[in-house]
Structure 1
Amino acid sequence: MGTNNKDVFIIADNVYSPIGITTQQNFEQVKNGVSGVQKHDRPDLSDVSISASIFNKDQVFISGEHNYTKFEQLLIASVTDALSYTDIKIDDPKTGLIISSTKGNISLLETEENNETLQKRISLNTSAQLIAGHFGFVNQPIIISNACISGVMAIVTGMRMIQSGQYNQVVVTGADVISKFVVSGFQSFQALSSERCKPFDKNRTGLNLGEGAATVILSGDEKYKGNIRVTGGGISNDANHISGPSRTGQELGGAIIKAINNAGVKAEDIGLVSAHGTATPYNDEMEAKAITLAGLQNAPVNGLKAFYGHTLGAAGLIETVLAKQCMEQNTLLPTLGFKETGTAPLNITTAVNHVEIKHGVKTASGFGGCNGALVLSK
């Protein structure tokens, strides 16, 4: 059984992406097969055209006069919407804030003069203080920046903060924006696909990048008894290679098993796996092996990257919120672009399907060999 039996409930959430600015809008769009990933000619982002899910240049995230960057505006917009569904007190000393991002304001390096002021402005710590100040959080915000598992790790951390008794509720939010810096990094790995990505498919050729934000508000208050809970988490590292994932999948497999054990459930109880599914040749193969090692090869598996692209620090959050929606509505979402198995065999969902889901697993892996998994339960 889990080490701590304190329930941690998801009491509100938001997904803010190019295909919708509320969780509901996003869920409907994905259900209807609407993808944010399109071909773009954006010399400001890339010398060649890229397939990505990005906001329109003129999109307004928050109105009025302010000095927030696009990254910070996205976080504020997402948190504001999520908070509107709750009555939690932000200035309560028992309320925590976690911010997940991989790159934050790094794009300012492209437009501003590199000096001490810029170094301070780019720091994730600066953004975190600005966000906390905007809403009036009294606790020091916690930043989680651990490559592509940041979002999943942030939710697991929030769960543990509540289980420790130190916090009663935690606002977990994450965002990333696409910049030339980010695009060129993935181009140097030859990891980007020129067309919409195909997670787990035999003909997959790489990932698409995406931008977006998401927020999950967690609470330990028993009055939310009917809500979906975060019941387990596991984090591991391959210690294998700076950018290449483990060849065996053992370490992500271990993180999934740890999360399932922590939740006090069994592999056969899992009715949905929301995979990381970046659609790169190595990641999907590793993840398929890991899911199999954890005994989940028969559970329905979906990957949402062909709808959102890889939103980096927001990915684990966006995909967890959609997994929660799947569970609430007993609906499996399609894995867009998947036609033919190109990895160790999994039960990949290809259409909207109605089925009872009591427990779900969300996985994530990232550069540096980091892996994360969490369990959601009804």
Structure 2
Amino acid sequence: MKKVYVLSQNIFSPLGTTAKENFDALCKNVTGVKVHQDPQQSEVPFCAALFEDLFFKKQQAPFTRFENILAASIEDAVKLAGIDTKAADTALVLSSTKGNISLLEHQPVTEVLKQEIGLTASAQKLARHFGFQNKPVIVSHACISGTLAIITAKRLLDAGKFKTVVVAGADVISRFILSGFQSFHAVSDELCRPFDAQRKGINLGEGAATLVLSTEVPASAEPIMISGGGVSNDANHISGPSRTGEELFMAIDRALKEAGSPAAAIDFISAHGTATLYNDDMESRAINLAQLQEVPVNSLKGYYGHTLGAAGLLEAVISIESLGNNTIIPTKGYEEPGTVMPLNVCRELIRKPIRACLKTTSGFGGCNAAIIIEKIKDRQQ
């Protein structure tokens, strides 16, 4: 199995256009979530992290709103990595849950539009724009899409199919998406409270994130690698998560075993933490089954909302920034313990030496994914 290193990363969100800008905003406790009153999106006020319209007035043709934020994120990450996207050993992996579905709300349904809303169309458009020679890989698997895209890229690199893979994910919020979550009575009308006793639902968010992964060792003194990944399914319910947490624990256990890391090596957990009653309880059970209940855990949903197909990628990028800066971000909105099993929820900014992170995600259909992100030091490369 090859070692898979992080060459560069980007987040393009309402909090900033680079990974550093986003991480700095989180360190200052800045959130992109606020109350919106937009009749085109919802008949009632809703809390979400959305882009200002000003950005999209400058969007590049022929890209859509969704494709524009992806292109901006990929462009920055590729530039930082200094890679040649036209190289035969470089590939693109794209993750999203909804893609261009919002176009159906504003345009007549034609055969051309039916083609354009497909993720294949977006992936091909972006691949042509950046000059990728290989056919792009698309990952669309509910809310684990971003994390699963990282695992997919790792497996392609492990298998020797490519030397470098650009992994990008994005979603934008539309009336269709918002109304779907509202129909589940899962949307909070205030800032969400992951793992808190008073939690009452999610905030949605939009954004894009990109990781450039490679089997080539980066020049940094302490390179960061994706060392393990695991995937599982609850087989429980189309929208409700497992009541035992055993299946997410399976994904965590597989990720730890692939990384060759004991649970004791994990310094913090970047959880899914949607602030819904059942998800947070399920995660607390899984984390306890993994014997990680004493490890600091955070959720970033209070800063970004739930960014759907970008969530796993975006939160992995912040985890990478955390490792590089020896800083753990607190869980915004959390005040009082409220999960069925105890967790060490991070309440304040923690600055201390950290070397390994567990990132978890779960989604509709009972899907779960986990990855291990490690900072390498005094280790054979």
TM-score, structure 1 normalization: 0.97
Question: Is the contact made by 1:62 and 1:73 (CA closer than 8 Å) also made in structure 2?
Answer: no
- Counterparts of 1:213 and 1:283, CA distance in 2: 23
Rounded to whole Å, the distance in 2 between the matches of 1:25 and 1:60 is 20
| 1:183 aligns with one of 160, 178, 185 | 178
Question: Would the aligned equivalents of 2:7 and 2:218 in 1 still touch at CA under 8 Å?
Answer: no
1:347 aligns with 2:344: yes
SS at match of 1:368: helix
For residues 362 and 339 of structure 1, what CA distance do their matches in structure 2 show?
A: 22
1:58 Cα deviation from its structure 2 partner: 1.8
Q: Mean Cα displacement is larger for which, 126-135 or 215-224?
A: 215-224
Equivalent pair of 1:61/1:74 in contact (CA under 8 Å)? no
Instruction: Find 1:206's aligned residue among 191, 195, 201.
Output: 201
The residue type equivalent to 2:332 in the other structure is: L
Contact 1:230 1:377 in 2 (8 A): yes
* CA positional deviation for 1:62: 5.9
Output one character per residue of 1:136-178: Cα deviation in whole Å (capped at 9) or x when no partner: 0000000000000000000111111111111100000000000
CA distance in 2, matches of 1:175, 1:61: 19
Q: Which of 63, 66, 69 matches 1:71?
A: 66
In structure 1, what residue type is equivalent to 2:196? D
What's the offset of the Cα at 1:117? 1.3
Structure 1, unpaired ranges of 5+: none
Residue 361 of structure 2 is matched in structure 1 by: 364
Q: Which runs of structure 1 show a deviation greater than 6 angstroms over 4 or more consecutive aligned residues?
A: none
Whole-Å separation in 1 of the counterparts to 2:111 and 2:155: 36
Structure 1 SS opposite 2:53 = coil
The answer to whether structure 1 residue 110 and structure 2 residue 105 are counterparts is: yes
- The residue that corresponds to 1:36 in the other structure is 32
- Secondary structure of 1:341's counterpart equals coil
Contact 2:217/2:223, CA 8 A, preserved across alignment: no
Aligned-pair distance for 1:355?
1.5
1:296 to 262, 267, 292: 292
Q: How far apart, in 2, do the equivalents of 1:238 and 1:149 lie?
A: 13
- CA deviations over 1:98-124 (Å, ceiling 9, x no partner): 000000000011011112111101000
Relative to structure 2, which stretch is displaced further, 209-218 or 223-232? 223-232
Q: Secondary structure at the match of 1:84?
A: helix
Q: 2:228 aligns with which of 229, 232, 249?
A: 232
Cα distance in 2 between the residues matched to 1:174 and 1:312: 9
Say if 2:125 is the partner of 1:130.
yes
Once the two structures are TM-superposed, the CA of residue 60 in structure 1 deviates from its matched residue by 3.9
Q: Say if 1:61 and 1:173 are closer, same or farther in 2 by CA, change over 3 A.
A: farther
Task: Tell me the SS of whatever aligns to 2:6.
Answer: strand
Do 2:59 and 2:68's aligned partners in 1 also have CA atoms closer than 8 Å?
A: no
Contact 2:59 2:65 in 1 (8 A): no
Cross-structure match for 1:265: 261
Equivalent pair of 2:157/2:215 in contact (CA under 8 Å): yes
Q: Deviations over 1:330-376 (max 9, x none)?
A: 11111001111100111110111112111100000000000000000
SS at match of 2:297: strand
- Distance in 2 between residues matched to 1:282 and 1:61, nearest whole Å: 39
Unaligned runs of at least 5 residues, structure 2: 376-381
Structure 1 residue 224, shift from structure 2 partner: 4.3
Aligned CA RMSD, in angstroms, stands at 1.0
1:199–1:338 CA contact under 8 A, matched in 2: yes
Q: Give the Cα–Cα distance (whole angstroms) in 2 for the partners of residues 234 and 187 of structure 1.
A: 31
Show the counterpart of 2:310.
314
Q: Distance in 1 between matches of 2:234 and 2:66?
A: 30
What is the TM-score when the length of structure 2 is the normalising length?
0.96
1:223 shift after superposition:
4.3
Deviations, residues 1-33 of structure 1 (Å, cap 9, x unaligned): xxx2x1110000100110111101100111111
- Cα distance in 2 for residues equivalent to 1:62 and 1:201: 39
**Could you tell me which residue of structure 2 aligns to residue 329 of structure 1?**
325
Name the counterpart of 1:158: 153
2:229 and 2:258 in contact (8 A); partners too: yes
The residue number in structure 1 matching 2:250 is 254
How many residues are treated as equivalent by the alignment?
Answer: 373
2-side partners of 1:62 and 1:130: how far apart? 18
Counterpart position of 1:376: 373
Whether contact under 8 Å (1:61, 1:77) holds in the other structure is: no
| Offset, 1:63 | 5.3
Q: Which residue of 2 aligns with 1:86?
A: 81
* SS of residue paired to 1:75: helix
- Do the aligned residues in 1 keep the contact of 2:248 with 2:286 (CA within 8 Å)? yes
